[in-house]
Amino acid sequence: MSAALWDTAALRAATGGDVPEGVAVTGVSIDSRSASPGDLFVALRDARDGHDFVPDALARGAACAMVDRDVPGVGPLLRVGDTLAGLTALGAAGRARSAARFVAVTGSVGKTTTKEMLAAGLSACGSVHAAVASYNNHWGVPLTLARMPLGAGFGVIELGMNNRGEIAPLSRLARPHVAVITTIAPAHLGRLGSMEAIAEEKADIVLGLEPGGVAVIPAEGPCADLLRRRAEEAGVRAVPFGEGGAASLLEWEGGAESQSFRVSLGGESYDVSLPVPGRHMAMNAVACLAAARALGADVRRFAEGLAGFAPLAGRGARVTIPVAGGSVLLLDESYNANTTSMRAALAVLAAQEGTRRVAVMGDMLELGNEGAAMHAGLAADAAASADIVFTCGPQMAALHDALPADKRGAHAADSAALAPIVADALRARDSVLVKGSLGSRMAVVVRAIKAVGAQGAAA
């Protein structure tokens, strides 16, 4: 049996809640469908009220449920005033009792990828606890901290935002020793209004740094000076990374499936091999090496550990799909998109040689009044990188219209309408990039492409 993560006394002390004697939990869950034996199930309210699923979670073996209203006929229950506040308090207690070194990651592009790189590299240096998927918001950060194993040597936390004022409280909860800002790009531009406002929000990550903390920030690119100024104002040591920062990318060689490069850092150089393509991935790795050094990890071991990095589904995963006469390479970038990440993904597609390169692009959302122009502005990159381009959504119509006629595949109102068109157009040896904002539901297209493979395998 796993050792208890939280016992009765610890749960009471952390949350101020009422819980019976003898309760001991080995994990924390907010989804009854994935609740495991021994978990504490936290009944949060979102589109549905988690209290309605307490009986199911306990039936699946959860050891206790955190609630803020009566759930008759089941138990044991940890009763608190508000379950989100209770989870936040539990996360704060998990952070307070941990002796681990913590790194937190934010940025407009590459947060989850950088978090996964940090986890891969730090795993070569000690035990690591990292956020699951993109658990980076007001419930994801405390959930990650509440799950923190007592013996972990490193904690990797991801911080995200949709509006101004969200990063600072998350950073103060996580209390990182090192903060990483990947890049500033026009994500949430429609909500925040300007690149400078986006940078100010991302820079708020420094407000939660532990004394003596370090900020790893872009040396070049949009708002680099603003980020440097914010670090200085907070009295935080900044380590710029990029082409010419304190952590610099050197001797980069990239291919269709992998890349190698050297990183100059702290008077030393480190050779890195990544099993994924894309110069933007190398830049993420440079930031990770700088963070590893600031954490006190063995940087050479960390660099070796990056060989085990693999991108997640929707964030650059490469999937081979069997089709009649051969296979299709799917480049799954369906989780999110803005102009910066779209250009980076198109560059990866362009690197696929000896193949028909197919781009399937959905709307980039929350770009404000400049949205149509930003979509049309991708035409040169899309035409240079792809042999044929399929688009969907009202904003992507501007890109479709701006493309050369011989590059236009089809345009549809949404991903559901586009998915069968793309699936029917596929042929052996294609490389297919699928990318768009989460709200554009480009995962529908990914599923349609995978279904073609399933049908081919069954035939």
Q: List the structure tokens of 423.
A: 């699936």
pLDDT of residue 368: 87
Q: Say which CATH number the domain at 340 has.
A: 3.90.190.20
Number of domains in the chain: 3
Residues 116 and 223 in one domain: yes
pLDDT of residue 455: 67
CA distance 134 to 131: 7
Identify the sign of the CA torsion 415, 419, 425, 428: positive
| Residue 427 lies inside a defined structural domain of this protein | yes
Q: Are the C-beta atoms of 186 and 374 separated by less than 8 Å?
A: yes
DSSP assignment, residue 437?
A: -
Residues 118 and 28 in one domain: no
| Residue 90 lies inside a defined structural domain of this protein | no
Identify the sign of the CA torsion 142, 287, 294, 244: negative
Residue 59: its H or E element: helix 54-59
- Asked which of 27, 60, 83 is the last residue of a domain, the reply is 83
pLDDT of residue 219: 97
| Residue 375 lies inside a defined structural domain of this protein | yes
Residues 60 and 138 in one domain: no
Pairing type for strands 259-265 and 247-254 reads antiparallel
Residues 334 and 412 in one domain: yes
- Asked which of 244, 276, 308 is the last residue of a domain, the reply is 308
| Residue 91 lies inside a defined structural domain of this protein | no
Q: Which domain holds residue 425?
A: 317-458
From first CA to last CA, the distance across the chain in angstroms is 45
Q: Say which CATH number the domain at 17 has.
A: 3.40.1390.10
Residues 288 and 325 in one domain: no
pLDDT of residue 369: 87
Residues 303 and 368 in one domain: no
Residues 259 and 367 in one domain: no
103, 107, 111, 114 alpha-carbon torsion, rounded to 10°: -60
Q: Are the C-beta atoms of 326 and 355 separated by less than 8 Å?
A: no
* Model pLDDT for residues 133-162, shown as the tens digit of each residue: 889 999 999 999 999 999 999 999 999 998
Q: Say which CATH number the domain at 214 has.
A: 3.40.1190.10
Residues 166 and 220 in one domain: yes
Residues 251 and 179 in one domain: yes
Mean pLDDT per 10-residue section of the chain, whose length is 459 residues: 88 97 97 96 94 97 97 96 98 98 96 96 98 92 97 97 95 98 90 93 98 97 96 97 95 95 96 95 98 98 96 91 93 94 96 95 92 96 98 97 97 98 96 96 97 66
* Model pLDDT for residues 165-192, shown as the tens digit of each residue: 999 999 999 999 999 999 999 888 888 8
| Residue 1 lies inside a defined structural domain of this protein | no
Identify the sign of the CA torsion 223, 437, 318, 324: negative
Residues 203 and 263 in one domain: yes
* Model pLDDT for residues 433-452, shown as the tens digit of each residue: 999 999 999 999 999 999 98
CA distance 188 to 181: 16
Residues 432 and 404 in one domain: yes
